[in-house]
Amino acid sequence: MKYVRTVLMGSALFFTIAPVLHAQDNTRPPIEHSGLWLSGGLGGGSTDNDEGSLTSGDDSGPAGYFRLGGSVSQHILLGGEVIGMSFDRDGTDVSFANATFTLVYDPALPGGFFAKGGIGFASVMTSLDIGGGTFTTDDEGFGGTIGVGYDIRIGGNLYLTPNVDFLFQTYGDDRDASMALFTLGIGMY
């Protein structure tokens, strides 16, 4: 249920703020996508996994991302992304992350709505303090990310970007995980 609540709250905020800020952005001349770009942000995320998955139940915690790449055209950006979240479950720290090759499709000239998708690697790490030591496990698998965002120019080639992302992970033996993340980032294009 937290997963659905996070997505609904994040989407409502996203679709409430973006049109207002976009109206302000329309008064400025467009900036072209060219060369390198980077973006990073922080926010929150939640899981909503079934029994038998890698983590069963609902958990929420801080989330973040970092993207870096190059502009192929005014509408297509290619790059890499590291995105993930962490939470505490009964004294155990759990962290999920995807490192993906990512394609960003920006139908407007730059600024405005964009969609993105990526495929690559997934990682989950758990850490538990026991007595005088720490017990840590780490597992790697396949990861995929899809998301939408809205670039709002705040000056020159600097953008404020609300994002809604969905992460999917599989680790073999029918173990998987899924997350929804809502972040607010800063990007330079």
DSSP symbol at 15: H
The DSSP annotation for 141-185 comes to EEEEEEEEEEEEEEETTEEEEEEEEEEEEE-STT-EEEEEEEEEE
Chain centroid to Cα 120, Å, comes to 14
Q: Region 121-135: what's the mean pLDDT?
A: 87
- Of 79-83, 87-91, 110-114, give the lowest mean pLDDT range: 110-114
| The pLDDT of residue 18 | 53
| The pLDDT of residue 52 | 47
Beta strands in 90-131 (DSSP E): 92-105, 112-130
Mean pLDDT of the chain: 82
Q: How far apart are CA 18 and CA 33, in angstroms?
A: 20
Q: How far apart are CA 82 and CA 92, in angstroms?
A: 23
Q: How far apart are CA 107 and CA 90, in angstroms?
A: 44
| The pLDDT of residue 35 | 84
Q: How far apart are CA 97 and CA 58, in angstroms?
A: 17
Taking alpha carbons only, the member of 164, 163, 157, 182 closest to residue 71 is 157
pLDDT value at 11 more than 70: no
Q: Region 105-120: what's the mean pLDDT?
A: 86
189 — pLDDT class (breaks 50, 70, 90): confident
| The pLDDT of residue 106 | 87
Amino acid at 145: T
145 — pLDDT class (breaks 50, 70, 90): very high
All structural domains of the chain: 2-188 (2.40.160.20)
Q: How far apart are CA 43 and CA 45, in angstroms?
A: 7
Who's near 70: CB < 8 A, 6+ residues apart?
35, 36, 37, 77, 78, 79
pLDDT tens-digit profile of 24-78?
545 555 556 678 999 999 999 998 665 444 555 578 899 999 999 999 988 899 9
User: What is the share, in percent, of the chain residues with pLDDT greater than 70?
Assistant: 76
| The pLDDT of residue 30 | 56
